[in-house]
Structure 1
Amino acid sequence: MKDGSTKPIPAGDIYRHMWLTSSVAKAVGVDLGAARAEGTLAASDYSRMLTNCRNAGCDKSCALWLSQQNGPSSSVPEFCVNGALLTQLKR
């Protein structure tokens, strides 16, 4: 556990984090569905993205970042646990 506690923190709501993940991807110009269809994003990597997002604890910051986007963003927010993979998929 990050805080040294012995009680695990439950992961966030799967549907909320699916929306957050796909919304951040879309904001930076990544189509996760197309990446899956093309084979550039494996099912296991997509699953890992959702799990990482659910456990990151930054969903409020993420929702705020998304609400402030007025068009395509050139980069993933610094706090995003999926930033490296999204940047890779953007290429």
Structure 2
Amino acid sequence: MFEKAIMGMALLRILSGSIEIFVAILILRINDIEKALFVNSSLALVGPIILMITTTIGLVGLSEKVSFIKLIWIFGGVACILYGVKSN
């Protein structure tokens, strides 16, 4: 049996991948570069949201095993990743 945190993280990644595949098919069906670019740009919101939620689930699962200071460093690292990929 899997831990609840592992199941939650895996299900979110499956959902994220399914959304990516759906958007790829949608782009092919749209067959218009402007609309396809808009749909693709909208997809850019999904990745960071899934990253944050999945990381949070993992950290909650680790909270008993990891010190508070290390949790702060992990959240800081995730914040740096999100800041680095943020478009201006």
Please give the TM-score of this superposition, normalised by the length of structure 2. 0.29
